[in-house]
Copies of this chain bind each other. A is one copy, B any other.
Amino acid sequence: MSAASQARKRRPADDLSIVAFERGQHVSYSACGIPYLVAGDVSEPDDLVARRPEEFRERQRIDLRLSSTVVAIDTDRREVTVRGDGREYREPFDQLVIATGGVPARPDVPGADAQGIHGVQNLEDGIRLLSYLDAHGPRRAVVVGGGYIGLEMAEAMLRRGLDVTLVDAADQPMRTLDADMGGLVADALRAEGVTLRLGERLGGFDTRAGRVAAVRTSAGEIPADLVILGLGARPASGLARDAGIAIGETGGIRVDRRMRTSAEGVWAAGDCVENLHLVSQRPVAIALGTHANKQGRAAGINIGGGYATFPGVVGTAVTKICANEVARTGLSTAEAEAAGFAVYSVVTESTTRAGYFPGAKKIKIKIIAECTSGRLLGAQIVGQEGAAKRIDALAVALWHRMTVEEMTSLDLSYAPPFAPVWDPVLIAARKAAEALQSAS
């Protein structure tokens, strides 16, 4: 819908007719807000909706068709095949934007179709989960998968008063962090009351009367009245693949900086595409609303006759679990090594405000930098209030290939309610620069 809106802004309805197909009932909503809807922070599903279908239809004259699934793309005949309104039909196009999003991973294990096993990919999923919670009053929730969604859903379940167990096949939650920083997150989760079952592979689900009763893992059985799946998503690129459009090694649709696919006049944006990682210079598929929005905007501007690009990502992400803030950008140690960098790292602990200022919280920052050059390659933050958003300054530094030595001079804001006299980011850069000097 970002693409559609931007194209419409530049080309009025008498110049460009725009048709949008949506499989579900909702468009332009915050899927990232679903955990907070389930937790009760957000009272109504409608609160997550940025713009209602009528707004697109009436104000922007976009022919938005809900409950309509595109089942095929013909790039030669310039038409798509649509299933909707109880029929199948073809719709011609001059320009096409593929914005099919992601496919949540569903475990291929016995019992996976039982009642009480919920994904939380889209708003319908969230509404369904809320009804299940109201109807069945589950007491024991098992969250499978310790990524962003898994952790956010673990918090949501805690805040609704359920007993929460988190299962992950890895030895740490948040595999996008290094093990030591992931360990801090694990400690924080335990302190909040989550039972962690790490290093346990999912085996299946026991059911009773068609409803989930337990989760079986490689290490045993966990009683469960409710299971939340947070196993990640892969790009929904099947439709594009079937149409002969180039798919990258990550499984995402290949696009250039202007969001053009390999097919003339066919664009793609959102979780279905792969992006260039600007640090590793390799393709990555990162499902994130903010990238999707920017990509959609770029595609729409280009279709509208303007010029816009999405140059790539540096891998910034942030989340909050109860009072704990977690953020990362760039490459983890493992990612950096896989990309061929020789790296070292430094962890520093500091405070979010001047140490003497009321409300100062702990913040740990890990800096991952290139040996010899000291080039910043990645950063990870675990802390409390005021910690996470500091990742942005690091993300911009990363964008510009700064060295940790250069970063020590950055003019970051200082006042006692906001930072110690050396901001934690500067302390981290300084310690990383000093480590480099003493190594040389």
Contacts and interface: CB of A to CB of B under 8 A. Distances in A.
Interface of A: 30, 32-33, 36, 41-42, 47-48, 148, 278, 288-291, 293-294, 306, 309-311, 313-320, 325, 327, 329, 354, 356-358, 386, 388-393, 395-397, 399-400, 408-419, 421-423, 425-426, 437
Contact of A421 (B293, B320, B358, B425): B293
Given A42-B356, A47-B356, A389 B416 contact: no
Contacts of A395: 393, 410-413
A148 B417 CA distance: 13
A410 B388 CA distance: 17
A327 B415 CA distance: 10
Contacts of A148: 415
A321 to B, nearest CB: 10
Contacts of A318: 413-415, 418
A358 B392 contact: no
Given A36-B357, A289-B414, A320-B418, 15 more contacts: A30-B421, A33-B354, A42-B358, A47-B356, A148-B415, A278-B411, A288-B414, A291-B411, A293-B421, A325-B418, A389-B389, A390-B392, A395-B412, A399-B410, A399-B411
Most buried by B among A386, A396, A412: A396
A320 B399 contact: no
A23 B78 CA distance: 82
A289 B414 CA distance: 8
A30 B399 CA distance: 33
A418 B388 contact: yes
Contacts of A416: 30, 32-33, 36
A354 B421 contact: no
A385 B147 CA distance: 28
Nearest to A46: B356
B354 A392 contact: no
Nearest to A293: B421
Task: Please list the 7 inter-chain residue pairs (A to B) with the smallest Cβ-Cβ separation, ordered nearest first.
Answer: A318-B413, A290-B414, A396-B396, A392-B393, A320-B417, A47-B356, A316-B411
A421 B32 contact: yes
A389 B411 contact: no
